[in-house]
Structure formats: C-alpha cells, structure tokens
Copies of this chain bind each other. A is one copy, B any other.
Amino acid sequence: MRPVKQIGVVMYSQSATSVARSAIRSPILADPRPTLKDLFAGQPVESFSAGEALIWEGDQPGQIFDVLAGVLRVYKVLPDGRRAIIGFIYPGDVLGVSFRHRSLFTADAVTAVKVRRLSRGRFLSLVNESPDLQSQLFALLCDKMSAAHDQMLLLGRKSAEERVVSFLLAIHHKCGEGAEIEVPMSRLDMADYLGLTIETVSRMMTSLVRRGLIHATGRHRIALSKLGALRDIAGRDEDEDDPRPAPARRAVWPN
C-alpha cells in the first residue's frame, strides 16, 4: 500500500459482442449493417511501440481508437506514484469512449500496437447517424461497466490467489486457444491490475505451478492445466457465458 515506484494502468478489454462481431465483416462492402469498427475503416493505421502512450490522464479526450493489434493498458496514478490499471484493451475493442470533458486515465501500449483513430466529435456524429450504431455504443458501454463491476468485486473481496486465478481465467475466456493463454503483460502490470505487488503475484503463480494447476510454456505463455480446479478457486463468476443467443435485433437501442 506504500510503493511509489511504478507507473502505468490498463483497461480491461471486454469488447462488446456486437462490436467484436464486426471483425468478420468487410468494411468495404455496402453496409448491410455497419458496425462501430467500420467507422474507422478509412483511417490510416498507426503504430505504437511498447510503452508509448496514446492518451494521457488529464488530456482533453479528443481521440477514439479502434485497436487492430496489440494490447494496451489503461491506468490511473495517485500523486505518490501508486498505479492502478483499470483494464487491458485487446484488438477488437474501442478505446476512448466513456469519458467526457477530460481523460480520466492514461493509456499506453503493453506490446506493439496498431490502431486507427477518429476524433471524438467525428466518431460521435457518425454514430448519431445510425440508430444501430448507437445501440452498439450503448452495448459497449454496458459491457465495460459490467467488467468494471466485476473488477470491483475482485479488488474489494477476493484473496490474492483468487485474483490471480480470476485474471488468468479472464484472459482464457477472452482469447484462449485451448488451455493455453498468452499473457503479454509483465508481473508489474498484473500486480497493478489486481491490486497486489509483483512479489505476491509471483508467489501465487509459483504456488499454482507447484500444485499442477498451471504451467509455463514460455515467457508469456501459460497453460491452464486444470481449468475446473482453477474455476473453483476463482469463485466461478468470471468465466460464464451469456447463455442466451444474441437477442433479436430491435429498434435503435436494445430493449
């Protein structure tokens, strides 16, 4: 609770399903139903290398980014340097929505990143032209809100082990290939995201390995050997899918 040496925060991906869906449709075709991401189609692709910042806390939040590749972290920092990573942003997600007059956090690249950007004004006015896009934006915000709530539960009431396991399972849920997951961020990033220290994260990981629940298959690659046991530890609330298929599309906002 005392450290004053770290910097950087991340925002949890949690791409709205309706938004993620866009990835499988060509942004060039006549739009049978444009997605939020299609709005960025004409923009040039920009690259950022690990560590570079896209948004600074306190800035006028003028830009909105469509993340094409790489991982970003969104964070807030206390005056004395303590950092809290709000979430990590993955490809398929949109960064920069959800604040008003002033950016409330910093966002920088965890890995090399490719994005397309749109000014906030342009983005919003484009969204306004389509009830369907408005609905998608609304859904996106609701998803992010839901993720934020889950994180509050984690930070406020879960033990170190539960936090680490929940984190691993969340990554698995988001983009797991089989039982293996890619963990691009450092222990420090994990710690700042989970409200722990790097040492504690490391100890928990070691403990999980020793018990055979996970095992490292590379520097940033981890195999979740016993998903069931891991889910038991996490509390069974991170990895559940919405059981219902996407509801029938309705007018403008989802009802």
> Quick one: copies of this chain in the complex?
2
Contact with B along A176-212 (1 / 0, CB 8 A): 0000000000000000111100000000000000000
Residue pair A1, B158 in contact (C-beta under 8 Å): yes
Set of chain B residues within 8 Å of A139, measured between Cβ atoms: 100
Looking at A80, A100, A131, the one whose CB has the most chain B CB atoms below 10 A away is A100
A134 interfacial contact with B, CB 8 Å:
yes
A78 interfacial contact with B, CB 8 Å:
yes
- Give the size of the chain A interface in residues (CB under 8 angstroms): 61
Residue pair A141, B152 in contact (C-beta under 8 Å): no
Can you list 30 contacts pairing A with B, beta carbon distance less than 8 Å? A1-B157, A76-B149, A78-B237, A79-B235, A82-B158, A83-B157, A84-B156, A84-B157, A86-B149, A86-B153, A97-B142, A98-B141, A99-B142, A99-B146, A101-B247, A104-B146, A104-B150, A105-B149, A121-B255, A125-B253, A134-B134, A141-B141, A145-B148, A148-B148, A155-B155, A155-B195, A156-B192, A156-B194, A156-B195, A157-B195
